[in-house]
Amino acid sequence: MKVPRPMLWISSRFLASRAIPRCALVSACWLASTWAHATLPIQHWTQPSGARVFLVESHAIPMVDVQIDLDAGSRRDPAAKAGLASVMAGQMASGTRAHPQGQGPYAQVMDENQIGEAWADLGASFGASASADRLSFSLRSLSYPDLLDKAVALAARQMAHPAFPPAIWTRDRERMIAAIGESLTKPGTQVQHRFAAAVYGTHPYGQRAMPETLARIDTADLQQLHAQSLRACRAAVSVVGALTRAQTDALVQRLLALWPDSAQCQALPEVAEVAPLAQAQNLTLPFDSAQAHVLIGQPGYKRNDPDFFALLVGNHILGGGGFVSRLTEQVREKRGLSYSVYSGFSPGLHAGAFVVGLQTRPDQAAQAVNVARQVVQDFVREGPTEAELKAAQSNLVGGFALRIDSNRKLLDNVANIAWNRLPLNYLNTWTAQIERVSVADVRRAMARVLQPERMVTVVVGAQP
């Protein structure tokens, strides 16, 4: 239940006075086309508060993107209140309390409409979201000092002093419960819920916000989670844009200035690992649907797995490469059982799921499942051919530039490096790491991680 990132609003009031020069836009396009071949120096330092800062200077256009990540994602939600982290993140836009010291340009109480209007006037955006592992804040603003200073002040207030008005949460909760109830009438939602429960068991990765869990959440829960989460000593702050190191250091200090004192930063409780599956499970649920929805999979691997690149290349060949994958060839091209079939890993702080997904006619579901399972089994046992490996490496390396062709995408990559504590030269060595993978590497890694004989298969909508 991830909260969408707001779009950057540019008001006509300052478009007239702050028009970005055409040459700057041309420079930005040139920069995007050369990023794949140039060194991307990531500057890193730790502030006295303990906040870890990661910066890529990009002066082609006057823009700054910031992402702040904290270990306060949904994996820490109480099972009875699944969805709490996402709800708390979403409600932070509902209003702010008065500044305790009455300082700054946004010191007054602000409701959700006033907050929205303030961001629109600045031509900037701020958002909060929660994934399985992280609570994230994102800020985007033009880097002109008068605008950026106000954007930082407003973001700092919204992070530190959310009001969590009970009436707003009551209103939004009813909407969310209705939306979830409606989604549960769809086979796609049913198959995802059953699959997550079967693969993850009692691990928090398998928890889903449901009407009954949302009904248990009140504003006191939001306030408590907020008070526990904001600690600068746990923050990974990623910045991409037209700022120097000194300017960035000052910006981050202002963003976190209102957070609670983190002089005593206690370690968070450990979260258990995802348990491996003991045996295969086959779940078939009747559903009146034109298409049967199929998911096959198991727990995969953690993001810090040393075989990350071998598994990335291997999955690209198996089912992550679109129309050139083995699954597509066998399930779609040769047998016409599905228009689309895919496979993927979702590594995180814990072992995210490996999944094969497809839709097919209900009367063909059994055949499609058998073919998909056989493809996975053969690939795990035999690995790829040399031709498949070379094609996958060429495709991945050739598409690398698209991964970093904007400030936003580059920020996502820097945040990935910061969060997962990857080497600072990770982006510079990415293509070399892909090219270094061998057939033996893929076969060994896939055989270690995947156990086709113990996978979960969930089919919703198949004919009995």
pLDDT at 380 over 50: yes
Token representation of residue 315: 């999955």
Residue where the block lists tokens 């200073």: 149
Question: Does pLDDT of 193 surpass 90?
Answer: yes
Strand order across the beta sheet in which 341-345 lies: 281-285, 456-460, 292-299, 353-360, 341-345
Mean pLDDT of 322-333: 94
pLDDT at 160: 96
pLDDT (average), residues 317-339: 95
Closest CA to 455 of 346, 344, 298, 300: 298
Average pLDDT over residues 276-303: 96
List the alpha helices (DSSP H) in 238-318. Answer: 245-256, 308-315
- pLDDT for 2 equals 36
Torsion over CA: 420, 421, 423, 425 (sign): positive
Strand boundaries in 166-259, DSSP class E: 236-241
Q: Which residues contact 316 (CB under 8 A, 6 or more apart)?
A: 325, 392, 395, 396
Q: Are 251 and 68 in contact (CB under 8 A)?
A: no
Of the candidates 364, 333, 384, 91, the one whose C-alpha atom is nearest the C-alpha of residue 225 is 91
Q: Return the SS3 of 69.
A: strand
What share of the chain has pLDDT > 90, as a percent?
84
Whether the CB-CB separation of 33 and 216 falls below 8 Å is answered with: no
Domains defined for the chain, CATH in brackets: 12-256 (3.30.830.10), 281-460 (3.30.830.10)
Query: Could you give the count of Cα atoms lying within 13 Å of 299 in the half-sphere of its Cβ?
Result: 24
The average pLDDT across 305-325 equals 95
* pLDDT of 249 above 90: yes
Q: CA-CA distances (angstroms) from residue 254 to 152, 161, 278? A: 7, 14, 50
> What are the tokens at 180?
């979830």
Q: What's residue 313's pLDDT?
A: 98
Q: Which amino acid is at 312?
A: L
Distance (Å, whole) CA 123 – CA 152: 13
Residue 415: what pLDDT? Answer: 98
Percent of the chain at pLDDT exceeding 70: 91
CA angle 31, 36, 40 (to 5 degrees): 75
CA 173/CA 218 separation, integer angstroms: 10
Q: Where would I find the H helices in 73-111?
A: 84-91
Q: What pairs with residue 295 in β-bridges? A: 357, 458
Q: How far apart are CA 345 and CA 350, in angstroms?
A: 12
Q: What is the mean pLDDT of residues 315-323?
A: 94
Mean pLDDT score of the chain, rounded to an integer? 91
pLDDT score of 348 more than 50 = yes
Please report which residue ranges of 305-425 form alpha helices under DSSP H: 308-315, 326-327, 365-382, 386-398, 407-420
**What's the rounded Cα separation, in Å, for the pair 298 and 269?**
26
pLDDT given at position 22: 38
Nearest CA among 284, 241, 278, 325 for reference residue 56: 241
First-to-last CA distance in the chain? 32
Cβ 453 vs Cβ 278: under 8 Å: no
Q: Are strands 292-299 and 353-360 parallel, antiparallel or unpaired?
A: antiparallel
**What confidence score (pLDDT) does residue 26 get?**
37
Give the Cα-Cα-Cα angle 325, 327, 330 (nearest 5 degrees).
Answer: 110
Using the predicted structure, report yes or no on whether residue 3 has a pLDDT greater than 50.
no
* Chain segment 210-228, per-residue pLDDT in tens: 999 999 999 999 999 999 9
Q: In sequence order, what are the residues at sequence separation of 6 or more whose Cβ sits closer than 8 angstroms to the Cβ of residue 384?
A: 314, 317, 392, 439, 442, 443
The answer to whether the Cα torsion of 72, 206, 138, 114 is positive or negative is: negative
Q: Given a cut of 80, is residue 18 above it in pLDDT?
A: no
* C-alpha–C-alpha distance, residues 415 and 421, integer Å: 9
pLDDT at 350 over 90: yes
- pLDDT digits 0-9 by tens, 55-74: 999 999 999 999 999 999 99
Q: CB burial class (10 A; 0-12, 13-18, 19+) of residue 283?
A: middle
pLDDT tier at 261, thresholds 50, 70, 90: confident
pLDDT of 125: 97
Model pLDDT, residue 39: 59
Residue 32 has pLDDT above 50, yes or no: no
Residues pairing with 237 in the sheet: 53, 68
**pTM (2 d.p.):** 0.90
Question: CA 413 → CA 56, 165, 208, distances in Å?
Answer: 11, 35, 27
Instruction: Tell me 462's DSSP state.
Output: -
CB 141 within 8 A of CB 124: yes
49's enclosing H/E stretch is none
